[in-house]
Structure formats: C-alpha cells, structure tokens
Amino acid sequence: MAECRSLANLGATSLLIAHQPTLRHALSALAEFRSRINSTLVLHFEEHEGDVILREDFQLRRPEPSRQSNDLALGVLARLCSSVLGDLWAPSMVCFTHEAPPAAELPIFSRVFHCRPQFGSEFNGIVLPLADLDRPNLKADDQLARHARQLLEAVMSPVDRTVAQDVSQLIQLLMPSGRASIQGCAAALGMTVRTLQRALDAEGTSFSTLLNSVRMNLAVQYLANPRMRITDVAELLGYSSIGAFTRWHGATFGRSPRKARSAELSV
C-alpha cells in the first residue's frame, strides 16, 4: 500500500507540504494538520549526534498490535521525504520493532525505503542525517504554499488539541527516560501541577488514567519485539523492578508479560 501512495493521498494538505522550503517545514506542516489526516497518529523527531530519528506513533484507545499500520505509516513518511528532497534521496536507516518478514517480502522494503531495513529494533522510525532537515526543497513555491495555507485555514483549520492529547503525547515521549511524571508534563506545558489536574478533570480524565493507557499500548508494542528483554520493557515503562511490572501487567491484561509474549509470537 505504501508503495502505491503519493503525497497527493494526504488530501488538501499535500499542496502545502509539497511547497515548503525544507523538510523541517514540511514535517511541521504535516504535524500541524495531522488531526485532519489521521487523528491517532503522532509525528515527532529526535536529534541525536548528527542524525535525526523520524517517528510516527499511534495513540490508540485500546492496546493492539499495529505492525501493518506502523509499516504503512513509515512508508508514507518516506515517500513524503522523497517528495521534498528528491527521488534519489535515501535515509541512513529504517528501523522496525518486528522481526524480519519472509525473504520474498524483503524487496518491497528496499523499493519503498531505498535502504536496507533493520528489524528487531527498539523503535519504529526513519534515521537520516540532521542536515537533510534543512536542505532546500528545489520544487518549493512560496506563493503556492501561502495559497494552500489560506485555503486550508478557510475550510479545515487545525483541530484544537485537548490537554489530554498533549499529556498523552508527552507521556509517550518522556517515559523511556523516566521523566513521565505529572510534574514533568506540567512543566513541559507551562502549567502548575494543580492547573493541569483541573484541566484534565474538566475533560473527564486524570493523569494516572492517561499514564496507564500509554503504558498499555507501549507494553503491547515492546513485548511484540522478541529482542527486547522483559527487564528492558519494564525499565522503559518506568518500573524499577520486573516484579512490579509483572504485577501491573497481570492486573491489567490478566496474564504475565512472559505469557503475553509467548501468545503473541505463536500467532
């Protein structure tokens, strides 16, 4: 499916994205209007030692395996990058948390991503040189970009995000570093803890509910990767001991993480 997709499949936002001056601006435009494209998909990028990791994660109401959705999202993201940087562009690496597919399916990964994929990774994402973010888009037209934005703002202005959505995204980003606390999220949003609590109360939720929801989704994703030790999964989800993680997993899913992994890998 990703191989058949073009930038035009993003709908009315494609004109705005296609005529941004750099990939950085194109990704910002995509993030700005992403709720109109796919409200469950969250785009973010992390800079690391001269490289940047582009990641698209799903914020789902219920935890479920999302291998095909992740593959499609990364394929579409790679096509977007190529549309801005040129057909000859190739990422440094593309990473998938799932195991390698059968050998007969590997050629399509090479055709879509123009590089050798790495399976069994700790994250789903595209790795590219940091300099690529600010390479000029030779096809950019500032007047067309302005026209596209005016049209979009007239008929489909960006959907207002809720505080709960912002907090869920922050939890997902901060959890691997152990900073997914209500204090850390409140500081990132420029609020006091009490103000954040009141805002979440008004939306009918709480920080602990959002934290648990993100943990559930990430637990399913991490345990589906056989290369990740259960102790590593526990640490990434903010648990200081595997015992605490196992108790939470049993209470939440009705079985231990080891049994959950065995059931997933046997499918």
Q: What is the per-residue pLDDT across 22-69, written as a single tens digit (0 to 9) for each?
A: 999 998 888 777 666 555 667 778 888 889 999 877 655 555 556 777
Q: What domains appear along the chain, each with residue ranges and CATH number?
A: 2-155 (no CATH), 163-265 (1.10.10.60)
3-state secondary structure of 136: strand
pLDDT at 263: 81
Is the alpha carbon torsion for 234, 235, 238, 239 positive or negative? positive
The pLDDT-based confidence of 129 (bands split at 50, 70, 90) is very high
Q: pLDDT tens for residues 164-216?
A: 988 988 888 778 777 789 998 888 788 899 999 999 999 999 999 999 999 99
At a CB cut-off of 8 Å and minimum separation 6, what does 240 contact?
none
pLDDT at residue 234 greater than cutoff 70: yes
* Residue 40 · residue 59 · CB < 8 Å: yes
Q: What percent of the chain has pLDDT over 70?
A: 85
**Could you tell me the CA-to-CA distances from 154 to 150, 157, 182 in Å, in that order?**
6, 7, 36
Alpha helices in the chain (DSSP H): 13-18, 23-32, 34-37, 67-85, 106-113, 142-155, 163-174, 182-188, 193-202, 207-223, 230-236, 242-253, 257-265
Of the candidates 21, 3, 5, the one whose C-alpha atom is nearest the C-alpha of residue 138 is 21
CB 91 within 8 A of CB 81: yes
Compare 264 and 65 and report the one with higher pLDDT.
Answer: 264
Residue % of the chain over a pLDDT of 90: 31
pTM to 2 decimals? 0.58
